[in-house]
Structure 1
């Protein structure tokens, strides 16, 4: 009912919030829960500002006619949902994000299948960026909408820069104390990115965590754990580049699921 209210008038598609029903299984599943919660908060803010949303994974609802009008699904795309969203937006369509409703999915509990899943996602983002960037720049849509699309499909590139900046910031901070004001890596731009990103990173994580009403100790530990978890983006980038450069045969890497925790009750409304 709530989702359908979003699909009225000129809206072509809606993406709902995604939560992990097995978030308490281990460290990795908990971090994915925080990851999706933090990303969802960002999309809620964008929707409140009137910015466009995107389709991704479970919990997406799209009008049939909108799919037909934009040229239908691209079965060759690695991330066909992202591809479809970009096509709808380039055709002048509108996608919204619904934070009031949530669908539940199983978080990946082991590192190897997680990297397999994320490499596929990253390849899909990069391919969408490479294929559609010229089309986006030439499209007859508002400049704000163009920038919103480019920002979203450049997600992995931006995050790599941010965490590369984090590493440089940490290395130089340690060197200043250990080697008496010596800067080991003289790269001011990534250093600045690292410092600015720290200011932006932690408030968003804290807001996402606060939704679960955690205890103060667990709250602080989860912030630290999530910060450490996000460094997986760096090896992920190099794994993605290796796969793209080697031009390996494109295969659909189905995410492994075990069904652990699936008997847990599902909330009807998740704000």
Structure 2
């Protein structure tokens, strides 16, 4: 193993670090609260007008996004030998070099399985390397990696201290200067890929002129309980929305696991931002501002484990919400500039209102109901948004798909999926309030991966006890 540290970036290439965070979050919170409370002081006949207008305008845009059919993507013909068995020797000779990159901390339950899965990918010999950054693991991960290096020639291992800082971004920045491939595929340690993923993904990315491509995320354990089943529906819902936004002239975003990145595009953006808790969402914004397009591929998917308990989900979604809102606060000047097209700005504005403003406005509306005794005013907007979410869930789960079977659609399934999405109406207001009141404290909390353990733990690391700099 090689000890290392992240290289210093030039000042003009360093990503935004989020100045005046509390002020920006406070202004956002006050604006949303004012918008949610104001209808309670209107005449009874007019109190629903703002919500109805939002429901019509943004609902119309959203239904168009949900119902747009993505372009059909045909899988390339499979290379086979005379017996009809797929072979590596007959793969196209012009496929570029690829580096698979994984930041791993305390991943003894899944790291062996991951290395074996990458070794089984079909790709021309000598053009695929697997880089694992051991991010200060304190379990058996280092021992397992050392053992695997002895029999997997394509495996490269870097090690950094647990106190190195920067979270997953810091780990990725450590390996970035050493990569030589045209593309890097960033995976989580629990990722599962089909053997033909690279031979299908790379030509599609090259032909489409994409600077990055996000594979559809599929839940590997959807039948564990109702929570994992709901997360499986959520991932299909998300991929439908992402593809629809692209088809409508909008933008797509990276999702961390299963993101293919062109190395020169990442370097143009200054590497990975170590001042954010969601490296994927932050990089999505910087690629957008650098006019580096991001595509979304439905099949083949990348599989990952869903969290198993509500406390684990709550902690995970707080991090996602904080990083998601922070990127808009950080990059707002660029997003409003002429670096984006009109359709991209419309898409981002609609998404921002639906994902971040609406839950805070709904919470303020509820406070207005309690304070004034007047009826709720935001319900038309909220009902339309949740209804469209149900349509997107049905659309996604009924699409032909590879990987684990998506949940079968029924009234009960759709109801579960929609009720599950209501958790964002609690997460977003709480995180916004916390960002407005408390100073920024970067804490990267990894999601536990259980693998095939007979008795997996079901508790994630406590954010208050987590060490800064841990991999996501």
Q: Same fold (TM over 0.5)?
A: yes
**C-alpha contact (below 8 Å) 2:239/2:298 kept by paired residues:** yes
Structure-2 residue corresponding to 1:196:
384
Deviation of 1:200 (Å) = 1.9
Q: Distance in 2 between matches of 1:100 and 1:157?
A: 29
Q: Distance in 2 between matches of 1:156 and 1:196?
A: 13
The alignment partner of 2:422 has SS state of helix
Query: Please, what TM-score do these two structures have when normalized by structure 2?
Result: 0.47
Structure 1: gaps spanning 5 or more residues: 172-183, 263-271
**CA shift in 2, pair 1:260/1:159, >3 Å:** farther
Query: Please, what TM-score do these two structures have when normalized by structure 1?
Result: 0.79
Q: Distance in 1 between matches of 2:397 and 2:227?
A: 15
The alignment status of 1:225 with 2:424, answered yes or no, reads: no
**CA shift in 2, pair 1:17/1:241, >3 Å:** same
Q: Distance in 1 between matches of 2:419 and 2:364?
A: 14
Structure-1 residue corresponding to 2:312:
113
The alignment status of 1:39 with 2:39, answered yes or no, reads: no
Structure-2 residue corresponding to 1:257:
449
Query: Of 275, 292, 295, which aligns to 1:93?
Result: 292
Query: Of 245, 264, 271, which aligns to 1:65?
Result: 264
Query: Of 383, 397, 405, which aligns to 1:209?
Result: 397
Query: Of 418, 425, 431, which aligns to 1:240?
Result: 431
Structure-2 residue corresponding to 1:7:
205
Deviation of 1:233 (Å) = 1.4
Q: Distance in 2 between matches of 1:27 and 1:111?
A: 11
RMSD between aligned alpha carbons?
3.0
Q: For residues 17-166 of structure 1, what are the structure 2 equivalents within 5 Å?
A: 17-152=216-351, 156-158=355-357, 160=359
Q: Distance in 2 between matches of 1:143 and 1:215?
A: 38
Structure-2 residue corresponding to 1:176:
none
**C-alpha contact (below 8 Å) 2:390/2:414 kept by paired residues:** yes
The alignment partner of 1:103 has SS state of strand
Larger proportion of helix: 1
**CA shift in 2, pair 1:187/1:221, >3 Å:** closer
**C-alpha contact (below 8 Å) 1:128/1:153 kept by paired residues:** no
**CA shift in 2, pair 1:67/1:204, >3 Å:** same
Structure 2: gaps spanning 5 or more residues: 1-198, 400-404, 455-472
Aligned pair count?
246
Deviation of 1:108 (Å) = 0.2
